[in-house]
Structure 1
């Protein structure tokens, strides 16, 4: 029932988005008539529509996969296969979870290929090659096994050995691991996929360092990432915690924006840091994760949890696997709440940027980003309230324009 409701909500919202974007395809919103051409507006609408259609296909594929592996008996088949090797319960559990997740990713691979080499290619964004795509896929899989495998083994061992409140210890370990990865990602993991070079433009670098001093922000450096290696989309972000914090500009963004606009974009990103948005989202994530582990701790001891999802036997590994598969279904109902707070954070970061730089600079940067990334200016209000982590373009620009008056 919950699965059907979640699917119906997502399908209905997608239908609204498609209809709304299509209806407004041939008219640039008044606020953007002087900065966005009708051709660019239509391109963004068509790009949004094509992505939404593919998302619907992905939604159907995901539903079919979930049903096949649960009610269809897929997990039972995988479990019996590994049980035949008569390994220890811990090793068998690890093998069942990892092989099931690998199979699911393989089934979903065609969607990713179509997104990259058909849709992104059609709109001029794809810079990826089949060789690079395969290399990335193998590297991601290898890292998932090398990093996720031991973590999975530790959680299963805790479930098996610690008693009724195992979930509390497991949660603390997962949160500690998340913080560790936030520290390690910019220094050790991200460079495996992209090249990061120190910012060479001395004039821009000096302006950024001045801004950092004014905002009270310290980082390990300002870097340019070769995002154009895979995509024509542009972005900027800061990453890491503690001594590993660094500021990253995509090379595509450096080539698209002038110095004033880049400084404004960076001020926005710094606003997230100064307003403690990262910390707030980490706390929210910790609470949601804790609730999830507590729920898993209870469900793992309920017979109906297994039989109701088409699994004939019971084990810690099967309980964890089933929970991993069905949790996204229930997360659907949290999306509008999470998106609401994310949009609030974006407004606060925009206000921060408007205080430390001129609002018009961020407005100009955002308009260029909407245009260059083919982001629709006319999303369905209800769809955006449910899914968008950033405020719609017209609302965001209006908020910034009010700051400059």
Structure 2
């Protein structure tokens, strides 16, 4: 049984590396073509960023490959020998906490390089050492407190309930829903500074837009995202009474009122089309399948890893092997997601205006240095949103014949 899981991981690794190499080669060739969507200088820069990011991903994948075999070869059994606690749920908490902390320490160099080297090189990251340390300590505190409670809960379910995987699924699914509800409140209190919009005219237009589609929220907020990153973004956070509209301060600064409303119109399209509930449903089905698989593993798999079939080992195996299953399910999930994005674009353009949405997407692509072209196999596996070229085509915007001067005028790009 262990051999099957190892073969699955090797296939996952090979496909991961193959798609990354295909993407790097494709973008290198596309980099020399006539620029589309982006200004010429940003087009070349976005291509270079995409290439460097993918090369980092390749190195990271090889590194993860080594870590994977380290864990299944001796790491899990060694960690098991260190945690000599009689209580199975307490052992699971200590074991999994240590497992996650060790993995975090092993991958930390890549996070540091991307944040402080790569993203700063291309003008994205504003992260400081002190802010990074503060964020890390806060995240670590939340994980040790609430993560340990969740681990203890699932361990007790495994230990005490027959067909535990059904009850375990229900428990974790409920936890995820609760996390989505409280996430905006936690971000507000511990990480970001949420403020009501200072532009009352814009706030009034947004509230009118929300009323048109029947979206009830707890408010419209601007968040100081620029202290960490210069990318533009907006999102609807929370569920139920905690729902709120969150605009990055970078987005408010760069987009006109009409363009902002078009972006929010797109997000409201997801709400109106029921995509949020659909996504929750899909997530639930996937999780149920995962729990069904990992809740019925044969004892020989644990023997092959020199582990006892107990909560700590079951949770660790779930965490190690579930990304493999996720990878092979992603093409189908991404296909559904891309379909939903087209529908949300149509809704947003009709709610505000097609021209505003096109201009907003143009600015987002330029400011975020999003390279508009990707290899088809890379799109197949990784793109939850349609490629920019295809989105513009659906909106009736010809990226090849549009005037560069008009584009520069729309984006306020200086030579």
Normalised-by-shorter TM-score class: over 0.9
Counterpart Cα distance in 2 of 1:48 and 1:377? 10
SS of 1:234 mapped into structure 2: coil
Counterpart Cα distance in 1 of 2:190 and 2:343? 33
Counterpart Cα distance in 1 of 2:234 and 2:201? 18
Q: What are the within-5 Å matches in structure 2 for residues 92-171 of structure 1? A: 92-163=91-162, 165-171=163-169
The match for 2:368 among 370, 373, 378 is: 373
SS of 1:223 mapped into structure 2: strand
The corresponding residue for 2:69 is 67
Once the two structures are superposed, residues 233-257 of structure 1 have per-residue CA deviations (whole angstroms, 9 ceiling, x without a partner) of 1100101111111000000111111
8 A Cα contact 1:195 1:226, kept in partner: yes
SS of 2:221 mapped into structure 1: strand
8 A Cα contact 2:226 2:249, kept in partner: yes
2:187 counterpart of 1:181: no
The corresponding residue for 2:247 is 249
Counterpart Cα distance in 1 of 2:299 and 2:184? 43
Counterpart Cα distance in 2 of 1:66 and 1:142? 26
TM-score for both structures, normalised by structure 1 = 0.94
Per-residue deviation, 1:41? 0.1
The number of residue pairs the alignment matches comes to 392
Unaligned segments of structure 2, at least 5 residues: 1-6, 399-415
The match for 1:352 among 343, 347, 354 is: 347
Counterpart Cα distance in 1 of 2:107 and 2:390? 35
Unaligned segments of structure 1, at least 5 residues: none
Per-residue deviation, 1:154? 0.9
The corresponding residue for 1:303 is 299
The match for 1:54 among 28, 53, 56 is: 56
TM-score for both structures, normalised by structure 2 = 0.92
The corresponding residue for 1:271 is 269
Per-residue deviation, 1:29? 4.6
SS of 2:58 mapped into structure 1: helix
Measured on the aligned residues, the alpha-carbon RMSD in Å equals 1.4
2:319 counterpart of 1:320: no
Q: What are the within-5 Å matches in structure 2 for residues 6-85 of structure 1? A: 6-30=12-36, 32=37, 36-71=38-73, 73-83=74-84
Q: What are the within-5 Å matches in structure 2 for residues 208-227 of structure 1? A: 208-227=206-225
Per-residue deviation, 1:209? 1.5
Per-residue deviation, 1:189? 3.8
